[in-house]
Homo-oligomer: A and B are copies of this chain.
Amino acid sequence: MNDTTIESVRDRLRNFAHARDWGQFHTPKNLAMALGGEVGELLAEMQWLTDAQVLQKLADPDTRDGIEEEFADVFLYLVQLADVCGVDLIEAAHAKITRNDGRFPPTEPSS
């Protein structure tokens, strides 16, 4: 398996939920709330730190794991929510960047 794709994550999550009969809980609204909950945990990791301290925490193997795990949790629920809603995150992202390109013209380089 090529496990560098979002699909590889999505498929493991599908199997994971199926093996535990958790699909019944994974409605759009429930997963959106779970996503909100995990983003809250990511915010909480950073709330009392400066930006420099956040980066320091990430640079230190002893403290990196906690914050990296919060990233994972946010991503896992976003992938599951998109899956249940039939949204292709990569495709939606490229479409939005293309739209933004038109809305926000690049800055003129000063010379």
By the criterion of a CB under 8 Å from any partner CB, how many residues of chain A are at the interface? 67
Tell me whether A34 and B47 are in contact (CB under 8 A): yes
Tell me whether A90 and B9 are in contact (CB under 8 A): yes
> With a CB–CB cut-off of 8 A, which chain B residues contact A104?
20
Tell me whether B44 and A37 are in contact (CB under 8 A): yes
- Tell me the interface secondary structure of chain A in the complex: helix
Tell me whether B67 and A93 are in contact (CB under 8 A): no
Tell me whether B3 and A6 are in contact (CB under 8 A): no
Known: A30-B47, A35-B42, A36-B43. 17 other contacts (CB 8 A): A3-B90, A4-B5, A5-B5, A8-B94, A19-B107, A28-B46, A33-B47, A36-B39, A36-B40, A37-B43, A40-B40, A58-B87, A67-B85, A71-B87, A72-B92, A73-B96, A75-B92
